[in-house]
Structure 1
Amino acid sequence: MTETVNSYPTKPRVFILTDITNEPDDSQSFCRYLTYSNQFDTEGVVPTTSTWLRHRVAPEGVHDIIDGYAQVVDNLNAHVHPSNPYPSPESLRSIVKAGSPVYGMEAVGDDIPLSEGSELLLQRLEADDPRPLWVIVWGGTNVLASVLHRIRNKPQAADIRSKLRVYTISDQDDSGAWIRQQWPEIFYICSVHGWNQYYSAAWIGISGDVPEDRGGADRSMVTPEWIKKNFQIGPLGAKYPDVMYAMEGDTPTFLYLIQNGLGNPEEPSWGSWGGRYTPVNVSHRGTPSRGHFADCGDEVIGLNGQKFANSRATVWRWRNTFQSDFAARMQWTLTSDFSKVNHAPVIEVNGEKGLGPTFIDVNAGSSITFDASNTYDPDGDDLTFKWWQYKEPSAVQTGHSWEVTVLDLKVTESGMKLDVEIPEAEKTCAVVRSTPPRLMKRGPPLHIILEVSDNGAPQLTSYRRIVITPINDRAGEDEL
C-alpha cells in the first residue's frame, strides 16, 4: 500500500541549529521534524547558545528525543513510499555535534577555533552537492557566523555562500545581523523586530495567542488538552514536553520546506505552511532568490468571518491542516498497520501527478481548464476539492493585493474540474503605476491553489499550486 502515497524525487538538504533545553519548544519542534524527516536529507543537528541559553549547549537533549524516535521508526516506515524511508537513529546520532558554548560573536574570530558543530557545517557547505543547504535556526546563529568568517577569504567563498539558504526564528544572538550586514546577498529569511518582541514576528502565528488575532486564528488545536491527546502519545510523543510559552515556535522553519504541493522554498513570497516573506531591499525584486526576506501580510478570513491582514496570518491560516497532518503522523508511530491510520490524498492535475507547481502560459482574454479527476486517496476516503486564487504572491509590482486581477473561477464536476477566464491584457499585463498606461508582453504570474481534503480522521489535505502567466499577444514591453 505504501506505493500509493506521494514520493519525493528530490529532498532538501537540512542543517539544524537549536538552543534545545532553553525552553520546551525546541524539543517539541524536533519531535515534529523527525516525523517528516523522510522528506529531507538531514546533514547536521547542532545544539547552540542563544540570548536565552548563553553559556552552554545541550546535545543530550537531541539524543534523548532520538531515543524515542528509535522506538517508532519502523512503524513510521510502514506509512511512506519505499523510495523515501526515514533515516536510521544511528545516522541521526552521528550528525549531532556541539556548537560553541559561548554567546553570539564570542565564537567568531581569527584566533577562535571552530566548534565540532561548525566543523560539520563547514564540511557540508563545501560538499560536492549541487543542491542548496538549508540552515534552519532555532536559536543563535554563531555556528554559521563562525564558518562564514573562516571561509571569507577563500576563492570559493562566494560560491559557497550562493548555495546557502537560511531561515531563522528572529535574531536570538548578535551574530545574525552581523551576517546580513557582511554578506547581504545571502538568502536569509528572518523576522526583524525589537528585542524580545516576538509577538510581532510572522512565525508566532503557529500558536501564539496574539490579541489582534483573536477571533481569527482557530486556537482549538493548540490547547494543552488537544496536544496531550494528539501529540503526546507513544514513545516519541513521550518526548514531546508540555507547552511553556508558545507551542513549537521553531517549527515554521521546516514547515516552509515540507513537500505537500503548496510551497516552493526558492520563492519565499509564494507562501506555505511556514509563512510568506518578501525581500527587504527593493533592489532584490529582480532576483528574489537572494538577500534578506522579512515579514509581509496576507488578508485572511478568520474563524469569526471577519478579515485579518498581518504577517502572522501567513502562518495561522494553515494551522488546522498542519496540526492534523502531524497528528496523523503521530498515529503512524503507534502502528505498522497501514489500514488503521490516515494518509494524505495524491493529486493529479491535467495528467501530472506530483508535488511541484504547474506552470502555464495563457493568452490574455482566453480561458483554460484544469482537470483533477484522477486524484485519489490511498485509504479510499471521500475527497473534497477546493480551488482558490492566492492573490498576495502575485503582487510583484507594489506588494499589495489590490494590484492583482481577480480571476473568474468556475468549478464543475463536483469540484474536480476548474475553468479559468483570463481577463484581457489591459488588466493582466498592465504596469499598474504607469502614466501613460503601458503593457508588458508577460503579465505577473497568477496563483491558483487546489486543496484536496479527505474525510479521514484526522482530516488530511494535499495541495497543488498552478502558476498562470498571462501573455499579451499584441506585443508590449519585456519588463516592468
Structure 2
Amino acid sequence: MSVYKYFILFLLLFSLNLITNAQNQKPRVIVTTDGEADDRASMVRFLLTTNEFDVEGIINSSSQFHWVGGQGWKAFHPVEWVKEYIEYYAEVYNNLKLHDPSYPTPEYLLSKWKVGNINAIGEDDIRTEGAKFITELLLDETDSRPIWIQAWGGCNTISRALKIIQEDYPEKMEYAAKKMRLFLIWEQDETYQNYIRPNWEHFNIPTIISDQFDCMAYIWPKVLPKDIQTYFESDRMTNNIIENHGALCSVYENNQGAFNAEGDTPAFLHSIPNGLRSMESPSYGGWGGRYVNVRNNVWMDPLPDSTYTRPDGQWGFHNSWSKQMEHDIESNKVEIRTNYFKPIWRWLDAVQNDFAARADWCVKDYASANHHPIIKLKNTPINLKAKAGSKIKLDPSKTTDPDGDALLFNWWHYNEADTYQGKSINTSHHAKTKITIPEDALPGDTIHMVCEVSDSGTPKLTRYQRVIITVIN
C-alpha cells in the first residue's frame, strides 16, 4: 500500500474515531437548586441518574419561593442537605456500580457541590463560590463541550456568573455563550429578565423556559390522565422506590407514600441520552417536554389554544398557563389541559419504570435487576432523505437486551415534532418495517419516526431511536 493510501486510511480511521467519541460523550450538566421539598425529591432521582451525565456542578441558589431569611413555607432549607444526600448516595454507590461502573464517585460529586447566591430573592451582586465555579467552567478552553445549566430555582447564581464574565472577561462572552444551554423551571426570580435577557440572549443561547414541568409538581393528581396517575400513587411509589431500596431512596420526599412533587425533574430528563435526541432541538420533544421557538433561541410551551397569549416578560407562577388551568373542571377545558401536558406525560410510564429500576440497582445484584435495551439500527441512518411517495426500510434488528429479555418493538410517527403537516403514518409493531413517505409531503418537510423498544423485565424498561426523514425533490 502506498504512503498516500496509508495517509487516507489514517484520516478515515481518525474521523471515525472522532465521530464515535462524540456519540459516546455524556451530556455535561450543572444543577442550581433552591432546596424546596420537590427539589430534594428530584435530587434523589438525579443522583440515581448521574451515570448518564458528566455532572459539572450542584449549586445551592435561591428563588422567589425560598431564600435565607424567608419565613414559614418560604424558609430556606440549610445548604448542607446536598452534602447529606450525596452521603446517602455513598451508601448505595458500590451497589450502583454493579449495574453501571460509570456512576461517579461520591467524592467526585462532593467536589462539584458549591454554594451560590442564596441571601435574597434575585440577589446577584455577591461573587459567591457557586457563581465563580460556573464562570470557570464556561471560560475553560480545555473543554468546549456544551453545558446544560438547569435552574431548579431562580436564575440569580447563573446571572452572577455571567456578570463576572461580562465584567472581567468581556472578550470571552461569545465563547461562554456558545457553551451554554439553559433549562429554566419557570423564571423563579427577575434576574433572567433584568440581566440575562438584555445582555446574553442575543448570543442565541439555546434556552428552554418550561411551564409543562408542573404536571410533575404538586398538581399532578389534578392534571395527569388516570392511567398515568397509577405510576405516582402510594402502592407503586412505596413498593418500588421508598421502602427497602437503600439509604438514598429512604429519604425521598413523599406524601404518605405517594409521589409528592418533582417539578424540577424535567430539567434533567431532557438531557438523558435515551435515543429521542431531544438535546438536538427543543422542538423534537422528549422526556423533558416539547417546546416552540418564541424569540432568538428561546423556547417555551406550545399554546394550549388560540385564546392564550405568551407573556412579554417574566414567565412564572404569577402568569403560568398551568396555574390558570389547574382548577378547570369543564370537559372541554380539561381536554385542553390534558393535551397541554401531553409532551411530558406521554413518557411518564417509562420515566417511572426507569426510576424504579434505578431504585432496584441500589440494593439488587445485576442478575436480579432489570436493565435498558440497547437499540442498534441496521442499514438505517438516523437522518434520512427520501422523495414523497417513496418507500423506506427501517431496521433495528441489531437491538439487544443485556438481560436476555424478550423485546417489544413499536415504530410510531411523532407527528407533533414534524414540519410535515399531513396525515400520520401508521404504527408498526414489527422490528423491521417499511413506511411510505406521504405523497403530499413537500421538499424540506421533516418526518420523525420513533423506534420504541421495551423489554419483558420488571420493571419494564424502554429505550428509543428517533429517525428523522427529510423530504427531497
Give the TM-score of the pair, scaled to structure 1.
0.79
Return the alpha-carbon distance in structure 1 between the equivalents of residues 190 and 427 of structure 2: 51
Contact 1:221 1:227 in 2 (8 A): yes
The answer to whether the aligner puts 1:54 opposite 2:55 as a matched pair is no
Match of 2:273 in 1: 259
> How is 1:233-272 mapped onto 2 (pairs within 5 angstroms)?
233-243=245-255, 246-272=260-286
For residues 150-194 of structure 1, what are the alpha-carbon distances to aligned partners after superposition, in whole Å with 9 as ceiling and x for unaligned?
Answer: 222511112211211110111111212222243223321113xxx
The answer to whether the aligner puts 1:229 opposite 2:239 as a matched pair is yes
Runs of 4+ in 1 over 6 A off after TM superposition: none
Return the alpha-carbon distance in structure 2 between the equivalents of residues 90 and 211 of structure 1: 38
Q: Which ranges in structure 1 are unaligned for 5 or more consecutive residues?
A: 1-6, 192-200, 285-290, 300-305, 396-402, 430-441, 473-480
For residues 311-351 of structure 1, what are the alpha-carbon distances to aligned partners after superposition, in whole Å with 9 as ceiling and x for unaligned?
Answer: 3111111111000011001101102x211000111112225
Return the alpha-carbon distance in structure 2 between the equivalents of residues 35 and 416 of structure 1: 31
Match of 2:3 in 1: none
Higher helix share: 2
Return the alpha-carbon distance in structure 1 between the equivalents of residues 249 and 156 of structure 2: 31
Out of 416, 434, 450, which is 1:419 matched to? Answer: 434
Out of 218, 234, 250, which is 2:228 matched to? Answer: 218
For residues 396-434 of structure 1, what are the alpha-carbon distances to aligned partners after superposition, in whole Å with 9 as ceiling and x for unaligned?
Answer: xxxxxxx622254474xx61111110123xx211xxxxx
Q: What code does the residue aligned with 1:415 have? A: H
Q: What code does the residue aligned with 2:84 have? A: D
SS of residue matched to 2:300? strand
Q: What code does the residue aligned with 1:78 have? A: L
The answer to whether the aligner puts 1:116 opposite 2:116 as a matched pair is no
C-alpha change, 1:135 and 1:307, in structure 2 (3 Å) is: closer
Match of 2:71 in 1: none
Between 205-214 and 148-157, the greater mean CA deviation after superposition? 205-214
Return the alpha-carbon distance in structure 2 between the equivalents of residues 455 and 307 of structure 1: 34
C-alpha change, 1:204 and 1:180, in structure 2 (3 Å) is: same
Contact 2:285 2:291 in 1 (8 A): yes
Match of 2:181 in 1: 165
Match of 1:350 in 2: 378
C-alpha change, 1:202 and 1:218, in structure 2 (3 Å) is: same
> How is 1:268-307 mapped onto 2 (pairs within 5 angstroms)?
268-281=282-295, 284=296, 291-296=297-302
Q: Which ranges in structure 2 are unaligned for 5 or more consecutive residues?
A: 1-21, 69-75, 306-334
C-alpha change, 1:254 and 1:60, in structure 2 (3 Å) is: same
The answer to whether the aligner puts 1:456 opposite 2:434 as a matched pair is no
Return the alpha-carbon distance in structure 2 between the equivalents of residues 310 and 149 of structure 1: 39
For residues 447-477 of structure 1, what are the alpha-carbon distances to aligned partners after superposition, in whole Å with 9 as ceiling and x for unaligned?
Answer: 00111111111011110101001111xxxxx
SS of residue matched to 1:368? strand
C-alpha change, 1:175 and 1:422, in structure 2 (3 Å) is: same
Q: What code does the residue aligned with 2:237 have? A: I
Contact 2:422 2:441 in 1 (8 A): yes
Match of 1:340 in 2: 368
Return the alpha-carbon distance in structure 1 between the equivalents of residues 67 and 185 of structure 2: 17
Provide the alpha-carbon RMSD of the alignment. Answer: 2.4
Contact 1:134 1:164 in 2 (8 A): yes
Q: Percent identity?
A: 35
Figure out how many residues of one structure are paired with residues of the other and give that number.
406
Contact 1:217 1:317 in 2 (8 A): no
Contact 1:57 1:100 in 2 (8 A): no
